[in-house]
Amino acid sequence: MSKQAVLKLDDNEFAFPTIEGVEDEKAVDFRSLRSTTGYVAYDEGYGNTGSCQSEITFIDGEAGILRYRGIPIEQLAEQSDFLESSYMILYGDLPSQSQLHEFRSRVRDNAAVSPLMAEALKGFAADAPPMGVLGSMLGALSCYNPELATNDRAVDLENFDQAAAVAIAQTATAAALAFRSSQGKEGNAPDPSLSFGDNFLHLMFSEKGQPYEAIPEVSRALDLMLLLHADHEQNCSTSTVRMVASGGANLFASVAAGSAALWGPAHGGANMAVIKMLEEIRASGDDGSSFIEEAKSGQSGKRLMGFGHRVYKNFDPRAKIIGKACEELLDKMGIDDPCLDIARNLEQAALADDYFVSRNLYPNVDFYSGIVLRALGIPADMFTVMFAIGRMPGWVANWREIAMNPKMKINRPRQIYQGPALRDYVPMESRG
Ligand code: ACO
């Protein structure tokens, strides 16, 4: 029998069961709290709330551990690739050779968006924010593939393999089409001979008569960037996907909502904010030390972007991997990026500063991912879109977990009302 947690309220005691995760995470099961005590659990920001039981990703923020389906991120970064890890995130296990072949083919074969959608993408203003375009297009996938987005769970699950491939592949294609359209350029057709990452770079940058030439270091860096972002348990955007999915919404609607949640600077927008910060520091002639002082004072509203994490109170393991990859990439490509020097200064200064140390503020994945993306030629306003392309398998897997749970209830938090108490309507002529 599991341990019981006892809650004392006035003279009454209430017992609640506890739950343990496979990695020893402990939770008190408060699902009956309101019905037995009349109280609800107050946890603004959900920092102490286990919103679900999930089998996809494990994080130990104190120890700096991240595992997809049990496998450490370090091993996946070293030995796997984005699509193989995506398969495992979606379906639970590493694929066999034939399963992986089939999955890669399905993603490749679904890379082209419908011609109608390609037309629609041209309709956005040239200066439309890429995340705005992405969110619209993810929602619109249900309009161009209605048979995959019926909101009938059984049907949507039956078509899951196809819908997942469309979501993963066409996010990349549509993002590249929107980018080219914003540049006044015709879109490129997907090239099935290329890997997922190389195809994306081809869609973005190939010009007529100049076939895309893969550079192994570039291919590897992009693939790694996507793999490191592929899932991160119940973050803001993934929780949003689950929230929307819990109401029975189809995959495309759910991931469109997730992408909107990702847009904010405290979440997926941070990689863009890091580059903006580094550029500003560079332009001001500062080596980073004045900025650190400003970020510490809190008065300017500035924060050291790319530092701190809601869950990691230690090094973000992804930052270690991408930081190393970033140095290797710039080295191999002979790129001398002054922003990287500033980033290194900031990192060293912050890691030796009591303000950051005492608050457990370490570099997160975005601290270096922006520099990697810049080296790949991706413009800064596309950085959050790149995050979304990487995160898609995680969103899709979380949608599937909800959709496959027959006991799933619609997610519906409570609140503590603090507005005016009961009062009467005052007719216009009597208002002062
Ligand atoms: N720079 C300076 N001070 C910071 C920073 C930072 N980057 N992050 C947190 N702090 C300080 C806060 O001012 C606060 O100080 P106080 O205790 O004196 O008031 C303390 O550290 C705790 O801050 P919270 O905001 O409560 O920390 P929380 O864990 O909720 O926030 C967050 C995490 C939002 C990521 C925050 O660290 C931040 O804004 N970082 C910069 C943005 C960023 O890099 N976001 C990417 C997140 S990773 C991702 O989404 C992939």
Q: What is the pLDDT of residue 368?
A: 87
CA 130 to chain centre: 16
How many other CB atoms sit within 10 Å of the CB of residue 152?
11
- Domain 270-375: give its CATH superfamily: Cytochrome P450-Terp, domain 2 (1.10.230.10)
According to the CATH classification, is domain 73-264+384-403 in 1.10.3720.10? no
CA of 283 to the centre of ligand 1 (A): 24
Q: pTM here?
A: 0.92
User: Is residue 70 classed exposed, middle or buried when 0-12, 13-18 and 19+ CB atoms within 10 A define those classes?
Assistant: middle
Task: State if residue 298 touches ligand 1 by the CB under 6 angstroms criterion.
Answer: yes
- Write down the domain spans for the chain: 4-65, 73-264+384-403, 270-375
For residue 1, the model assigns a pLDDT of 64
pLDDT value of residue 48: 93
DSSP 104: H
Written as tens digits, the pLDDT of the chain (432 aa) is 679 999 999 999 999 999 999 999 999 999 999 999 999 999 999 999 999 999 999 999 999 999 999 999 999 999 999 999 999 999 999 999 999 999 999 999 999 999 999 999 888 998 999 999 999 999 999 999 999 999 999 999 999 999 999 999 999 999 999 889 888 899 999 999 999 999 999 999 999 878 888 888 899 999 999 999 999 999 999 999 999 999 999 999 999 999 999 998 888 888 888 999 999 999 998 888 889 999 999 877 889 999 998 889 888 999 999 988 988 898 888 888 888 888 888 988 999 999 999 999 998 888 888 889 988 999 998 999 999 999 999 999 999 999 999 998 999 999 999 999 999 999 999 998
CB atoms within 10 A of CB 3: 11
The predicted structure's pLDDT at residue 78: 97
Contact 64, 316 (CB under 8 A): yes
The reply to whether ligand 1 has any atom less than 6 angstroms from the CB of 378 is no
The residue annotated as part of the active site, out of 336, 366, 381, 424, is 366
Distance (Å) from CA 158 to ligand 1 centroid? 41
Q: Among this protein's residues, is 366 annotated catalytic?
A: yes
The beta-strand segments (E) located in 122-217 are: none
Chain centre distance of CA 43: 23
**Exposed/middle/buried for residue 255 (C-beta within 10 Å: 0-12, 13-18, 19+):** buried
Half-sphere exposure of 256 (CA within 13 A, CB side): 18
List the residue whose alpha carbon is closest to atom 32 of ligand 1: 309
Torsion angle, alpha carbons of 346, 352, 354, 355, to 10: 10
- Ligand 1 pocket member 295 (CB < 6 A): yes
Residues 6+ apart with CB under 8 A from 82: 196, 197, 223, 226, 227, 230, 390
309 is annotated as an active-site residue? yes
| Ligand 1 proximity of 237 Cβ (cutoff 6 Å) | no
Residue 357 in contact with ligand 1 by CB distance below 6 A: no
What DSSP state is assigned to residue 302? -
Neighbours of 417 (CB within 10 A): 7
Kindly report the protein residue whose alpha carbon is nearest to atom 45 of ligand 1. 266
Catalytic residue among 223, 229, 309, 316: 309
